[in-house]
Amino acid sequence: MMSTTAEGVSKFTLQFVEQECIDDAMIREVEAWRQILWRLGLIGRSPERYDGTGYGNISVRISGDNFAGFLVSGTQTGGLPALSAKHYAWVTDWDPAGNTVTARGLTAPSSEALTHGQIYGLDDAVQCVVHAHCPEIWLQADRLHLPCTDPAASYGTPEMAREVQRIFADCRRSGQRLLVMGGHLDGVISFGENPAGAVGVMIEMLALSLAQGGPEDGP
């Protein structure tokens, strides 16, 4: 059985500068895809789930002559059907080994920012990362032959980042663009070369899960 941890609490050391540095043009495409995830319940907030805590997030890599990093939806924004630039954070640096994240914006980054950063650091081709909550996929990880992190690795920690690194090479060899977070209830991560790819593989896997029928007890 998988272990479960509380949702929405950052476990890394955050170095955050509160400043207006993101405009609507920077988040327009990724936000459109986030709204689709929200409508499907893959990102959201419900009193019936996780003690009413918001869940799920999305990020997109950005780069230029004088800047780099990624934009990620902010902490505890899952319950909002639509976000504006003020709800995103710009992560400029991250260190999984040191358990630190450096960011700026008007909202602190998601509690999964360290894991997002680890994936970006492992593959330059990855341009978008999605962290969704999907019990249909999570409970059928074994049946769907999905890579799964160690249940002992809690979300938003160096242990989770190391687990992602451990199984990422297998994902790359097999062409798999989705992994299950064994220690994070319903947690699923997908990634792609653009938001359409990252969100698309999440939706495709949800469809495959539904086609399998009733869920199992977990990986």
pLDDT digits (tens, 9 = 90+) for 26-36: 999 999 999 99
Where on the phi/psi map is residue 156: left (φ > 0), alpha (ψ -120 to 50), or beta? left
The pLDDT of residue 171 is 87
Whether the pLDDT of residue 214 is over 80: the answer is: no
Residue 85 CB: number of other CB atoms within 10 A?
20
Its pTM stands at: 0.91
Question: In the chain, where are the structural domains located?
Answer: 13-212
For residue 160, name the pLDDT band (cuts at 50, 70, 90). Answer: confident
Pick the residue with more confidence: 83 or 47? 83
Pick the CATH number of 13-212 from 3.10.150.10, 1.20.140.10, 3.40.225.10, 3.30.565.10: 3.40.225.10
Q: Which residue has tokens 């994070």?
A: 184
Look at the chain and count its residues. Answer: 219
Whether the pLDDT of residue 8 is over 60: the answer is: no
Q: What is the DSSP letter of 44?
A: B
Contacts for 69 with CB less than 8 Å, ≥ 6 apart = 61, 62, 90, 91, 92, 93
pLDDT digits (tens, 9 = 90+) for 88-119: 999 999 998 888 999 999 999 988 899 999 99
